Structure formats: C-alpha cells, structure tokens
Chain A
Amino acid sequence: MHSDADLITLMARYQDGDPSAATALVGQLSPTLHRFFMMQHLSRRHADDLLQETWLRIHEIRNTYRPGEPVLPWLYAIARHIRVDHYRKVVRIEMREQQVEQFPEASPSRQERAVVDLDALLSSLPESQREVIVMLKVSGMSLDEIARATSSSVGSVKQKAHRAYAQLRDQLTRMGFGKARAGGHS
C-alpha cells in the first residue's frame, strides 16, 4: 500500500512535469483503480477502458489537485465521475441487451478467482455500498477520504460500510463459510 506522503510528493512532481512521477503514479495506483472498476460489476474490457479514460482525465485536469491535499479522494472522485458517465452512456444499454438475449454465463476471469466469487458476492450489494466497501478495503482509503471522494459525510460512509458488512456476512454464512469456521461470528 502506498503512503499518503509519497503520493502527495509524486503528484507535486507530476504537476511540475516530471515524467518519472507520472510513470510511478500510473504504476502504483492503476491496480487498485482497475480493481475499483472491476468490482463495480463491469467487464474487464470496460474496466480497461475506464482506467484509460480516468488517467486521461486526470492528466487533463491535473491542475485541480491542490498540493498537500490527500491524493486518493481527488483521484477516486474523478474515477467515480468517469464510471457514472460511462454507466449512463454504455452499460445500461448493454445490460438491457444482455437481459433480452441471454443470461451471462460465468466469464473465465470469474472461474479463475479464488475460493469465493467476490464479483458475484459484491454485485449483490447496492451500488453505493459496494463502492464504499471497495474503496475502504480494496483501495485502502480511510472513511474521511471516502467521504470526500463520494461527496458525502463520514457518518453516511460508516453506515453504508456497516450495512454492506452485515449483508456480506449473511450471504457468506448462507454459502456455508461461517459454519466451516468454528462457530462463525466474531
């Protein structure tokens, strides 16, 4: 996981036009950003497109980052914006078409996934809760950072995370995960 101070320094250097800082930022932040898109119920192709589009937008508006401010809320606010735009433009249409034509079968990437199909598990959560869980646990953001990125309050983020955990726990227990671990609940 990258530290805030490192990212702040890299962003300042990137704004100064340092190519190595740009490369380092792309290398360090792309995997979590990509996972952020993948876990939002998007196909790999769409996640790739959105990652590319997000970086291009970041590049275009890199002046809007204020030196010294946390980088992740800025970055994820832009990524969210790109995802919402994309969802409006493309995914809704494609999903409708898929529903009419055929039910999607498990893609190879799903089959490759570890013990639990996280994609399917997370897809059962409402979008706002899924987004919070992914930012919190996969991207490693703090509650305050998520509140900034999602333009909401820390209390609302906490509530969404709490509800998401409760739902995930229920679902995993139903799938037999809780029982297998000596009593289940913490």
Chain B
Amino acid sequence: MSNKEIDEMLKSVPQEMDPSLLANIEKSMLATLAPVRPLPPPWIQTASLIALVGMISVIGAAILGFEGVRRLGIERIGLIFPTLVLFTILAAALSVAEMVPGSFRIAEPRAVLAALVLAIIVLFASLFHADDTPRFVPKGIACLVVGLLVAIPTALASWLVLRRGFAVNAASAGLAAGTLAGLAGVITLELHCPNFGAMHVTIWHTAVIPVAAYAGAAVGHFFRHK
C-alpha cells in the first residue's frame, strides 16, 4: 500500500457536522462580537521586556550600590554584560513567543534554560579565580535572595507586557518568563556584588536563573489549574 493510497483514505473521511452545533457556536460568538486590538508585533513586546529587565536591574543595583562593576575590570565587563544582554534578548523573545498560540518558537524553554545556565557557569568559572571567602553559604544565600528580589518585580512587570497573550503551555511560558526575570537578578548581582570568589559567583549568582525559572513554571502551572 502506497503513501498516496493512505492519504486518499485519510482524506475520504466523511464530514459529519451537526448544523445545529454550528448554529449554536455562531450564536454565542456573535452575541459578544466586538472589534479587538490585536497584539503588537513581537519585536515591540520583546524590546519592552528587554527595556524592563535593563531598567529594573539597574535600579536594583543603584539601590544596593555599584561596587561590583567598579571592581570587575574591563575584560570581565566586556565579556559578562554582552553575554547577559544576549541571553536577555533570547529569553525575552522566547517569553513573547510562549504567549502567542502557534507562534514560531526559537527553541524549547527548558533547553534554552539549560544551555543558558551552562554557558553562564562556564563564563563565570573562566573569569573568576579568587579563593572563596569564609561564610560561603550565608553570603551565597544573601546574593541569591537579592537576585530573586530583583527577579520578582521583573516578573510582575513582564506580566504587564505579556498579559494580553495566551499561553497554551502555561508552565512553559512561566519558565521562559522566570528565566528572563532571573537574568535581571544576575545582572543586578554582577553590578552590585563585590565578592569575586569563583565558587560564590559561579554557584550563587547563577542559581538565581534556575530558581526564578522554576518558580515561574510553578506559578504558570498553578494558574493553569485555577
């Protein structure tokens, strides 16, 4: 049996439609039919999200102080911030795509998260070599909390940009938005944190992204079932 014959068989399925069903659907749709404003083009939403991440992370660092970036050095600044900006653009585009059914998807959010976290770990591990200071865990948790405190308003502001969309996979959309919010937290930490211990930066600063991403996924999952 050829593929063509299978195709013909599949296309020959009778169209059994109940006319009253169609009439009911039309009736309920027409009852509330009014003009709607379509979503803005994806680049506008993406640019808005990038601007939000930039603004909130800089405000966060302004409140906490720019000690980190002052001591980073030109080489580290030139490698860390362009990388974080690039990842922010990617996460913003992904968040926008997740909120429009059937839109072109650059990649699976989970795969992007994994690649992004791995790349940041490699980057930080190659740029920071200082020995870790005492009180590794308390200092690390403090940075993690700061990062998440920046991620929360970023996530809320992102929701304002994306709220008119519709996520067919709420957990995945939450994961993408959480990744974006986590990046804002990491940018703030790189601007603020003067602790250049290799393990501190690699573990605790990077951890903001997966923690924020999975918190976003959990929120998405929760609202899906509400």
A residues with a Cβ closer than 8 A to B are: 15-17, 19, 22-23, 26-27, 30-31, 34-35, 38-39, 44, 48, 51-52, 55-56, 59, 61-67, 69-70, 72-78, 80-81, 109, 112-116, 118, 133-134, 137-138, 145, 148-149, 151, 165, 168-169, 172-173, 177-178, 181, 184-186
Closest A residue to B6 using CB positions: A168
Q: How distant is A145 from chain B, measured CB to nearest CB, in Å?
A: 8
What 0/1 pattern do residues 7 to 39 of B give for CB contact below 8 A with A?
Answer: 101111111111001101110111011111111
Report if A34-B17 is in contact (Cβ < 8 Å); known contacts: A59-B32, A64-B166. Answer: yes
Of the 9-residue stretches B55-63, B100-108, B180-188, which lies at the interface with chain A? B100-108
Contacts of B172 in A (CB 8 A): 151
Interface size class of B (residues with CB under 8 A): 35 or more
CA distance A75 to B14 in the complex (A): 22
CA distance A15 to B29 in the complex (A): 12
Q: Is B3 on the interface with A (CB-CB < 8 A)? A: yes
Query: Is there contact, CB below 8 Å, between B10 and A138?
Result: yes
Query: Is there contact, CB below 8 Å, between A186 and B4?
Result: yes
Q: Is B203 on the interface with A (CB-CB < 8 A)? A: no
What 0/1 pattern do residues 63 to 87 of B give for CB contact below 8 A with A?
Answer: 0000000000000000000000000
Contacts of B100 in A (CB 8 A): 64, 66, 74
CA distance A134 to B41 in the complex (A): 31
- Ordered by A's residue number, 28 sampled pairs between the chains whose C-beta atoms are within 8 Å are A22-B33, A35-B13, A38-B16, A39-B13, A52-B21, A52-B28, A55-B29, A61-B101, A62-B36, A63-B39, A66-B38, A69-B102, A69-B103, A73-B101, A75-B102, A78-B102, A78-B168, A80-B168, A112-B14, A137-B11, A148-B104, A149-B102, A151-B168, A151-B172, A184-B1, A186-B2, A186-B3, A186-B5
CA distance A118 to B104 in the complex (A): 32
B residues with a Cβ closer than 8 A to A are: 1-7, 9-18, 21-22, 24-26, 28-30, 32-39, 41-42, 99-105, 108, 164-166, 168-169, 172
Given contacts A30-B17, A137-B10, 4 further A-B contacts (CB under 8 A): A66-B42, A73-B102, A118-B13, A148-B103
Contacts of B14 in A (CB 8 A): 112-114
Q: How distant is A34 from chain B, measured CB to nearest CB, in Å?
A: 6
Q: Which listed residue (A15, A44, A55, A73) contacts B35, Cβ 8 A? A: A15
Closest B residue to A49 using CB positions: B21
Closest A residue to B4 using CB positions: A186
Q: How distant is B210 from chain A, measured CB to nearest CB, in Å?
A: 21
Contacts of A81 in B (CB 8 A): 101, 168-169
CA distance A70 to B29 in the complex (A): 22
Contacts of A19 in B (CB 8 A): 30, 33
Query: Is there contact, CB below 8 Å, between B38 and A65?
Result: yes
Query: Is there contact, CB below 8 Å, between A51 and B25?
Result: yes
Query: Is there contact, CB below 8 Å, between A169 and B18?
Result: no
